[in-house]
Amino acid sequence: MKVSRGVWLMLLASLSFGLMNVSVKFVHHMPVSEVVFFRAIVQIFLSLIVLFQLKQSPWGKNPRLLAMRGLFGSIGLFCYFYTLQVMPLGNAIVIHYLSPILTTLVAVALGDEKNHPLSYLFFAICLMGVVVVNGVSQVVTLAGVIAGLGGALFSAFAYNTIRRLKNLENPNVVVFYFPLITLPLSLLVGGLYDDAWRWPLGVEWLWLLMTGVTTQLGQFFMTRAYQSDKASNVSAISYAGIIWGAGFGVLLFEEQYQWLQFVGMGMVLLGMLLNVRINLRREAAQ
């Protein structure tokens, strides 16, 4: 069975975001708004270089939709980075990966797509897996869970806005608007809530740079993926990030997971694979 281009692009995006998660985790002692600020700086710089080389205007033709994409993505980003800092890497990622389910449900609610009836059963398997992973953990906080759920929801809104921009905007312009909106928001949040901003030291500069570079790659691959395939197929592939998260957490941060948590991760991956398979079969039959 042939795998679509969108699926391969999302696999590359999930790996890039996995490396981003590692970078954020290494600067967990810094305020979220400061990490977001430096990430936005790097992204804007890289985006402008690409747009300049392509001789492409950075402002686009649909500023309202582009700004909405940036706003939804920024809110989701703040929530997600907070969960990365207060929870184990694997737990934070599993909660965040409710966003593919929400992405598909939002797309169906908006009338943009139709979903196979069995997909809802597979989504339920994924959801139960998320509950299992976090329900047996002793280090999960209520604030972290709420932030994770909020991040997943706003990410779903952002991804569906990307779908609406298909064939309307250059993918590099869509990517550019994300840090463009994030930058002033990070300064606002930092000024209102964070009083511990400080100048990065030593290797912290490297991790902040990596946060921006890997995010840029991930955003580019993800944007192209959502513009190349159905949200129900593409969003499910992002669950591969759970594998990166658990692996990096164990290898780099000496995190420990109970056997039941690995069962929960397996349930999430199983639901993902079953959903992709049923949608590919349906498309092949059409």
pLDDT at 74: 94
Phi-psi region of 55 (alpha: psi -120 to 50; beta: other; left: phi over 0): left
Instruction: Give the torsion through C-alpha atoms of 138, 189, 179, 153, to 10 deg.
Output: 50
Annotate 37-97 with three-state secondary structure: HHHHHHHHHHHHHHHHHHCCCCCCCCHHHHHHHHHHHHHHHHHHHHHHHHCCHHHHHHHHC
131-140 confidence digits (pLDDT tens): 887 766 656 6
| Mean pLDDT, rounded, of the chain | 84
pLDDT category of residue 75 using cuts at 50, 70 and 90? very high
Residue 139: CB atoms within 10 Å: 12
Structure confidence by residue, pLDDT tens digits, 83-116: 988 888 878 888 887 887 788 888 888 877 777 7
Per-residue pLDDT tens digits for 257-282? 788 888 888 888 888 778 777 776 76
- Cβ–Cβ < 8 Å for 225, 175: no
The Cα 187–Cα 57 span in angstroms is 25
Q: Identify residue 64 by its one-letter amino acid code.
A: R
Residue 151 and residue 156: Cα distance in Å, rounded?
Answer: 9
> Model confidence over 165-201: pLDDT tens digits?
888 888 889 889 999 999 999 999 887 776 678 889 8
